Amino acid sequence: MRLLAQIPHPKYKIVAYTLELHYYVEIEAGPMKQCYKLHKDTTSGIEGIKKWLDGEFQTHLQTTFEEMYRQHSAAIKRNSAS
C-alpha cells in the first residue's frame, strides 16, 4: 500500500492509498474511521476519488459517523468502572 494523496476537507481527514487493483480511501472523524476500496478499473485516479466523494456521499458519511459515535460513546459508558 502506497500513499496516493491527502485530500483536503474541512471536517474529515481523508487519505487515499494505491494498492495493486484498488484505491483504498480512509476517512477519519475523531475516534472513528471509515475505509473504502474502489476498484482501479472503475475509478480514474485521484480525480475519480474526489468525484466519488460527492455531496450525497458526504451526507451519508456524516450520518454514519454520527451513529458510530453514538455506539462508541454508549459502549464506553456501559463498560466504564463506576
DSSP state of 9: -
Cα separation, 50 vs 57, in Å, equals 11
SS3 55: helix
Work out the pLDDT band at 81, boundaries 50, 70, 90: low
The domain in which residue 26 lies consists of 2-79
- pLDDT tens by residue, 30-55: 989 999 999 999 999 999 999 999 99
Per the structure, how many domains does the chain have? 1
